[in-house]
Structure 1
Amino acid sequence: MSSANLTREETALRAQQVSVSTIAVDLDLTGAPNPDVTGFPTTTTLTFTATTDQTWIDFIGESVLSVTLNGHDQPVVWDGARISVAGLTADNILTIKAVGTYSRSGEGMHRYVDPADGATYLYTQYEPADSRRVMACFEQPDMKARYSFTVSAPAGWQVLSNGAALSITEFTTGTESAEMASGAVAGTTADPTAQGATGPGVTAQRVEFAETLPLSSYITCVCAGPYHRVDAVWTGQEPAVALGVLCRASLAEHLDADEIIEVTQHGLDFFTAHFGFEYPWGKYDQIFVPEYNLGAMENPGLVTFTEAYVFRGASTSAQHEGRANTILHEMAHMWFGDLVTMKWWDDLWLKESFADYMGSHASVAATKFTDAWVTFANRRKAWAYQQDQLPTTHPIVANIPDLEAAKLNFDGITYAKGASVLKQLVAFVGEEAFFESARRYFARHAYGNTTLDDLLTVLTEVSGKDVHAWSRAWLETTGMSTLTLSVSGDDVTISQDVARPHSLQVGLYGWQDDALVAQSLVPVTITESDTTVTIPGAGDAALVVLNEGDWTYAKARLDEAGIAAVSAGLSTIQSPLSRALVWSSLWNAVRDAQLGADTYLTIVSKHAVNESNIALQSGVLANAFYAIEHYAPISVRDDLRAAWLDTTWDALWQAEAGSDAQLAWARAVGEVASVRSDRSADLQALLNGDAKPPSGLTLDTDLRWHWLSSLIAVGAVEGSAADSELERDNTGSGRTAYVHATACVPTVEVRGEDWHRAWEDTSLSNEHLSAVISGFTSGNSETFTSPYADEYFERILAAWQTRSIEIARRLVVGLFPSADETDRAGAWLDANSDAPGALRRLVIEQRDHALRAARARSATHA
């Protein structure tokens, strides 16, 4: 096993032997604007007690320059991931001087140069274990410390960390005072500016930040660059909390800071009131950063977000709702995760499940986005259902033996299933008991680490219910229940294939003036495999919906009568949450080979145009295209593509001018146009200005790139057309779109270049790698991708061993040969039983997706 892959057992032992109190980190980032400078000086001083005479410190970087223990120089014993230290006493001060590496993978200290203006931007991203790429540390969540950061950077930059800046001192690089200020080591490089500033005489700044409250290493953070900043304040507690919203300068015109601040203020009002614990981290900065691997990260006092939430062009209300949900998700982490942190990654759900639940709950309770549970029911739970049916599914409280396993545990089980069962928990214990338990949990464990039992203890105290039994049924088991129904008179029998306790509601619908209208709603508790309840009017109902209100976590099937009813009248159901549950039921039936893709497309084509909830509509349109490409037999696929292109094109022109629906249909047209060329001439005319777009539709940069890439993928225009589009949009997003568009050219030569570039060009950033991969697999790609299936399985193990886990994951997942008729994946798994568990998991999952698609195709009429 690689020394970088820390295990649960060895870190638990280290936590027993070592107790850290403070960590001071000094970073010299003055050289960042120089592209020839690959690394940065980093000096860490750790103060800790020990009951052992030796331990190790985690660090991954270019070099370790010196190790000093209790004032005495030590030999540097470093294997590339661990610095071994011997001669510890009861009380220790350890200083490590090293050189970190600027990253292009979004791990550690990521460096980005904005093509729009040439400006350099830095940010850190650590979870679960990449703070060791920036500082020497104890890389495990249960070794919390008070951190003090000092950062040297070019003058004029915004420099941020978790705490507030205490002092800012300007200095000139290349002088003795600059060397002392930066913490650099004299004589360690031939060129004294090679790892420092861009040259002598450059003005720089040294920023000293306030010491933090106790934190785990993975939620510390540093950002630096000429970021645009908008300031505000939240006055909900004393002293008032300073708020900041930041993005790259070239995106400033697109930053709708007012809405972000409004959501932030409402969220802080809600959480401090309901959690009974004041916001503890002083300030609250939120920064949108480029080439981010996640949606966001809950660094206390400095939350980082993907720039995808800075909407350059037209955006739907669903996109704004999604951003608000993420803001509130990360804010919930200020308590669930930052204030109280899981002891090890087994209990990752103790923060992620709660934050996922709270994102939707607070959106509904505290903001204008009151349909958040609708989106959750239809889209977030779809992620959970998909993950929970894979062979690699796991309990919400997972078995995580090492860091590689932890990295892949940020999945639909830990987030969406966990949040789903918390919704069931709230129904079980009551909302007030739930929040009272949270208040006691924070008060009892503030700044500490917890396990499952700590939470169950307070829940039991407050509710008086057998929460441990609930936990065994929901948190400590795998899989989900599939609920089916049969109606005999007014008797409704609900069956479940996996027996669990469910508190749910049954809704009855009848026809009224060609609309499906809710007639009654009955709460039901089921615990057995079969439960029969008498519901007056059930025998005459046109539609019976299980789990109305989405209380529980289960796949709820429609019976034959129900499918007939929603086929005729789905879009007439008044409640968007009820429609979400029906759409979800239909999609699950397609994935499970219970409903053909062709039947699903018929229902979508009839009702999606009348779907008034944009989040539901957008999700359904995406599912429709996915069903065609993955769940429809090849013999009918092209006919379904043609019909779907007609549907999306007509809906685009019929949609209300300037509406969210119009934008959703325009995006859907672009998707199907990447595999069917019937409307290529029309789209080209719109892009060239030779034809007018539908009234109200703005052909912004994002939509233009989307349509252009599709035209290139079907060979309707040359790849060189992307050159002129890049001149129009020579920004960071435009550069990424250009990489994707030029990789879409449907020739053997270009797709071959894509293949080799993805595996072999280590200069590609994380986003550009994904752009190349998506180009390689775009359009009618099987002709181009199938010749590389054997080579894929020859390459993946070496890639896993030599590339960072984020880059390796993108390669393994993105380039998997989904048309794997000879089951090469199965053969590889048989032959590589000793491969790293995290790599095997990815291959197992991709194989299962391919097998599921094959089964689903059997349910479609060929």
Structure 2
Amino acid sequence: MSIANLTRSETAARSAAVTVRAYRVELDVTDAPDETEAGFLTTTTVEFDATATETWLDFLGLEVRSVIVNGQFVDVEYDGARIPLHGLRRSNTVVVSAVGRYSRSGEGLHRFRDPVDGATYLYTQYEPSDARRVFACFEQPDMKAPFTFSVTAPSGWEVASNRPAAIVEDDGDRQSVEFSPTLPISTYITAIVAGPYHRVESEWRRGDLDVPLGVLCRASLARYLDADTIFEVTRQGLDFFAENFDYPYPWGKYDQVFVPEYNLGAMENPGCVTFTEAYVFRGAATAAQYEGRANTILHEMAHMWFGDLVTMVWWDDLWLKESFADYMGALASAEATEWTDAWVAFANRRKAWAYSQDQLPTTHPIVADIVDLEAAKLNFDGITYAKGASVLKQLVAYVGRDAFFEGSRRYFRAHAFGNTTLGDLLSELSEASGRDLATWAHAWLRTTGMSTLTLERGAGGYEIVQTDPRPHRIAVGLYDFDDSGALVRRDRVELDLGNERTPVDLPEAPLRLLNDGDLTYAKVRLDAGSLDTVERSLDRVVDPLARGLIWSALWNATRDGELSPERYLAMAQVFAPSETNTALMAAVLANAGYAVAHYLPDAARDEWRGRWLESCRAALWDAQPGSGGQLAWARAVASAAAVDGRFAPQIRALLDGTGPAPDGLPLDPDLRWALWTALAATGHADAPDLAAELGRDDTASGRTAHLRALTARPLPEVKGEAWRAALEDPGLSNDQLDAVIGGFRAGERRDLIAPYDDAYFAAIRDVWATRSIEIARRIVLGLFPAADSLDAVDAWLTSNADAPGALRRLVIEQRDHLARDLRVRALGVNDV
């Protein structure tokens, strides 16, 4: 086991013997602008009670300089991950002075230099276990305590944390900021942000509660920050949760900080939420992008209660916060904001993630068995988030909305600032609803996989057939054409399923849609007659949620080899251009591109690359000028043009302004880079071309995009250098590594990258042993060979049975994706 790993059993023993009373953490980041300085000074004072004479503190850093135990300096014992403590009393105070390492991987205290103005920005990211990269601590979620942070930083910097500043001293060169103590929280949700951030302020009031609001981003992005829109969603969310949770927002202030090179969408640090700055739109953005940002804002806000106020004991119950936040983000979006169709994106995109994850051999119950931190890191997945949220949506339908929220309110009051397990939540929900939820919990939280629902017609009428039977409450929607030719629901039948076959009395209808309204978590199939109707008239289905469920059914059938990829692509060609919901359109375009690359035999793939590119280009020119649909099609053109260069001259003319352009198309920097990368990947752009584009956009995003485009060029020496950089250059940041890997794979040029297949399998164990888990995960996933057989990966799995479990999980999952590709491809191009 890696020295940085921690097991569930040892942390449980530690928390049983140690009770933390308070932390004081002092950080000195004054020298952060000097990139030759690798580290920062960090001093932790922790007060705790103990029933054992020995324990340890966790720390991952450059050096531990001194350890003081109850007023006495002791010999420093440090193995690179743990600081043993001996001779403990019933009540103890330990002071650790150390040097932490600035991060370039997004783990711990990340340091970023903005190429636009040379400014340095810092932020922390800890989940699940990287607070120990910044200060010595008991790194586990059930050892909560109040934290007092004190940060010394350059004068003129914005310095933020979970709580407001209490004391600020500034001599003109440096400032010392001490923050008010937090309420009891876990280490992984503490936060520090420091740098010349641009800040916009507002407030939210409800009754006697006055919460200061802040929105922050890099100074060079300030002109793009739509703070008013973000504040509007924030206030709507706080109103929604205040009304439904009936527990006052407890964290004092609410800052939202958009930070560079972020590994996540966002993180729920109480009072100081951090987001990827991809949500600060530098150019045009679709309605789906704004909706997605709103959903993320509300997801993180829900965590202020689910996760921050009440926290799981260990990562087995990660779902206690993530499933709830995913569900609440969609619910609040639909009911409190302008995004009233939020459940459409949830049904078609979030659940697609869950369906894919739940079919892998490494799938796990929603309540998972997480033996150590490496396993925890990989469980931030489609099961914990999207399947859990889907199951909660079903639970709300099962117990009733009022009972669900009453149970949640009881849960908050009973366990505020504490830690819980599944039983604690079920107890409150059972009491509020009057239902025994043990059977429901076993069926949905402690099992794996999903049911597939099919409508069959026999001599006695219709039956709903389900594989892997579970209890479901579902609806069957019956859709018919109205006088205008639109397909609308004329009837709806609700029923409970529990057995393999359930009779259902259904009148005839052109379209019979199982799981109408998306009440349960299950894959559904369209019966033959409904599929024929959809194939002719999908664009006539008025309800966007129904369309989303149909697109989901079509895609799942394609992935499972029951619908020809070409048939799916033909429907995407016909119906995607008229799709009015941009979230659905984006999903269909992404799925179509994936189907071309992964599910078609070689000959058909070559043909469809051109056909799909031509379809995307035609739809782009036909799209409404300035619309989100036009932007989505332009991005699809860039993606398709990366593997087919037939329109390279026209794309180049569009970029240099010498050729025609679709009316109203915003050629913003991100779209320009996508098109230049497509040209580079097909050999139609060289280094001087890309350097000229960098001159137009010499920003952080521009430099990362430039690196990706350079690496995309189809030259053996370029691919060789990219391979070397990805595996051997520790100076690459997380975003730069992604750019190198993305460029290496751009263009799907197996002729150029297949020679590295053997090197991949020879390298990954060393990568896992020597790189941080975040960086190692990106390498293992990003460079996995898209081979034509499973032989190499099977040989590695056989000969590496003793590899770390988290590494084997990643390889097994990638093997399964490849096996699916090969299986669907082998079915050929005939209709299925």
* Fold in common (TM above 0.5): yes
Q: Provide the residue aligned with 1:481 in structure 2.
A: 451
Checking the alignment, whether the CA contact within 8 Å between 2:790 and 2:815 is kept in structure 1 is no
Q: Distance in 2 between matches of 1:597 and 1:483?
A: 21
SS at match of 2:381: coil
Aligned residue runs from structure 1 range 743-762, under 5 A? 743-762=711-730
Q: Which amino acid aligns with 2:95?
A: T
Q: Distance in 1 between matches of 2:209 and 2:583?
A: 38
Q: Distance in 1 between matches of 2:388 and 2:688?
A: 47
Match of 2:331 among 358, 361, 371: 361
- 1:631-689 deviation line (CA, Å, top 9, x unaligned): 11111111111111111111101101101100010000000000011111100000010
Q: Which amino acid aligns with 1:265?
A: R
Checking the alignment, whether the CA contact within 8 Å between 2:788 and 2:822 is kept in structure 1 is no
- 1:163-195 deviation line (CA, Å, top 9, x unaligned): 1000110136xxxxxxxxxxxxxxxxxxxxxxx
Match of 1:344 among 302, 305, 314: 314
SS at match of 1:66: strand
Q: Provide the residue aligned with 2:224 in structure 1.
A: 254
Q: Which amino acid aligns with 1:492?
A: Y
SS at match of 1:415: helix
Compute the displacement of 1:754 (Å). Answer: 0.6
Q: Distance in 1 between matches of 2:788 and 2:363?
A: 22
Compute the displacement of 1:518 (Å). Answer: 1.7
Q: Provide the residue aligned with 2:821 in structure 1.
A: 853
1:533 aligns with 2:504: yes
Q: Provide the residue aligned with 1:211 in structure 2.
A: 181
Checking the alignment, whether the CA contact within 8 Å between 1:294 and 1:305 is kept in structure 2 is yes
Compute the displacement of 1:698 (Å). Answer: 1.2
Aligned residue runs from structure 1 range 442-461, under 5 A? 442-461=412-431
Compute the displacement of 1:825 (Å). Answer: 1.0
Q: Distance in 1 between matches of 2:206 and 2:602?
A: 59
Q: Distance in 1 between matches of 2:250 and 2:131?
A: 22
Q: Provide the residue aligned with 2:622 in structure 1.
A: 654
Q: Provide the residue aligned with 1:517 in structure 2.
A: 488
Q: Distance in 1 between matches of 2:405 and 2:828?
A: 47
Q: Which amino acid aligns with 2:666?
A: T
Checking the alignment, whether the CA contact within 8 Å between 1:589 and 1:595 is kept in structure 2 is yes
Q: Provide the residue aligned with 1:51 in structure 2.
A: 51
Checking the alignment, whether the CA contact within 8 Å between 2:247 and 2:412 is kept in structure 1 is yes
Checking the alignment, whether the CA contact within 8 Å between 1:484 and 1:495 is kept in structure 2 is yes
Q: Provide the residue aligned with 2:129 in structure 1.
A: 129
- 1:318-373 deviation line (CA, Å, top 9, x unaligned): 00000000000000000000000000000000000000000000001111111110
- 1:248-270 deviation line (CA, Å, top 9, x unaligned): 00000000000100000010011
Q: Distance in 1 between matches of 2:375 and 2:788?
A: 26
1:396 aligns with 2:366: yes
Q: Distance in 2 between matches of 1:101 and 1:94?
A: 21
Q: Provide the residue aligned with 1:158 in structure 2.
A: 158
Q: Which amino acid aligns with 2:583?
A: A
Checking the alignment, whether the CA contact within 8 Å between 2:333 and 2:339 is kept in structure 1 is yes
Distance 1:96 1:141, change over 3 A: same
Aligned residue runs from structure 1 range 89-168, under 5 A? 89-168=89-168
SS at match of 1:103: coil
Compute the displacement of 1:596 (Å). Answer: 1.2
Checking the alignment, whether the CA contact within 8 Å between 2:790 and 2:819 is kept in structure 1 is no
Q: Provide the residue aligned with 1:6 in structure 2.
A: 6
Q: Provide the residue aligned with 1:289 in structure 2.
A: 259
1:267 aligns with 2:237: yes
Q: How many residues align?
A: 829
Unmatched segments (≥5 aa) in structure 1 = 173-202
1:419 aligns with 2:389: yes
SS at match of 1:416: helix
Q: Which amino acid aligns with 1:748?
A: P
Checking the alignment, whether the CA contact within 8 Å between 1:508 and 1:521 is kept in structure 2 is yes
Unmatched segments (≥5 aa) in structure 2 = none
Aligned residue runs from structure 1 range 494-509, under 5 A? 494-509=464-479
Match of 1:714 among 664, 682, 689: 682
Checking the alignment, whether the CA contact within 8 Å between 1:818 and 1:846 is kept in structure 2 is no
SS at match of 2:417: coil
Q: Provide the residue aligned with 2:599 in structure 1.
A: 631
Q: Provide the residue aligned with 2:767 in structure 1.
A: 799
Q: Which amino acid aligns with 1:228?
A: H
SS at match of 2:664: coil
Match of 2:398 among 428, 441, 447: 428
Checking the alignment, whether the CA contact within 8 Å between 2:790 and 2:818 is kept in structure 1 is no
Compute the displacement of 1:510 (Å). Answer: 2.3
Q: Provide the residue aligned with 2:586 in structure 1.
A: 618
SS at match of 1:110: strand
Q: Distance in 1 between matches of 2:100 and 2:787?
A: 41
Match of 1:331 among 295, 301, 312: 301
Checking the alignment, whether the CA contact within 8 Å between 1:714 and 1:780 is kept in structure 2 is no
Q: Which amino acid aligns with 1:549?
A: G
1:782 aligns with 2:750: yes
Q: Provide the residue aligned with 1:197 in structure 2.
A: none
Q: Distance in 2 between matches of 1:258 and 1:671?
A: 33
Checking the alignment, whether the CA contact within 8 Å between 1:596 and 1:857 is kept in structure 2 is no
Normalised to the residue count of structure 1, the TM-score between the two structures is 0.95
Report the aligned-residue RMSD.
1.0
Checking the alignment, whether the CA contact within 8 Å between 1:597 and 1:859 is kept in structure 2 is no
Compute the displacement of 1:516 (Å). Answer: 2.5
Q: Distance in 1 between matches of 2:530 and 2:719?
A: 46
Q: Which amino acid aligns with 1:163?
A: R
SS at match of 2:440: helix
Q: Provide the residue aligned with 1:187 in structure 2.
A: none
Q: Which amino acid aligns with 1:99?
A: V
SS at match of 1:76: coil
Q: Which amino acid aligns with 2:287?
A: S
Q: Distance in 1 between matches of 2:828 and 2:140?
A: 49
Compute the displacement of 1:237 (Å). Answer: 4.2
Checking the alignment, whether the CA contact within 8 Å between 1:482 and 1:557 is kept in structure 2 is yes
Q: Which amino acid aligns with 2:592?
A: A
Compute the displacement of 1:404 (Å). Answer: 0.1
Q: Distance in 2 between matches of 1:261 and 1:86?
A: 50
Distance 1:490 1:547, change over 3 A: farther
Q: Distance in 1 between matches of 2:534 and 2:511?
A: 8
Compute the displacement of 1:488 (Å). Answer: 4.4
SS at match of 1:240: strand
Q: Provide the residue aligned with 2:574 in structure 1.
A: 606
SS at match of 1:140: coil
- 1:267-286 deviation line (CA, Å, top 9, x unaligned): 00110111110000000000
- 1:19-57 deviation line (CA, Å, top 9, x unaligned): 001000000000100011000000000000000001000
Identity between Structure 1 and Structure 2 (%): 59
Q: Which amino acid aligns with 2:497?
A: I
Match of 1:764 among 732, 737, 746: 732
Q: Which amino acid aligns with 1:522?
A: V
Q: Provide the residue aligned with 2:206 in structure 1.
A: 236
Q: Distance in 2 between matches of 1:306 and 1:786?
A: 33
Q: Distance in 1 between matches of 2:598 and 2:209?
A: 55
Q: Provide the residue aligned with 1:491 in structure 2.
A: 461
Compute the displacement of 1:719 (Å). Answer: 3.0
Q: Provide the residue aligned with 1:193 in structure 2.
A: none
Q: Distance in 1 between matches of 2:567 and 2:818?
A: 21
Q: Distance in 2 between matches of 1:585 and 1:606?
A: 17
SS at match of 2:746: coil
Q: Which amino acid aligns with 2:719?
A: R
Compute the displacement of 1:522 (Å). Answer: 1.0
Checking the alignment, whether the CA contact within 8 Å between 1:495 and 1:530 is kept in structure 2 is yes
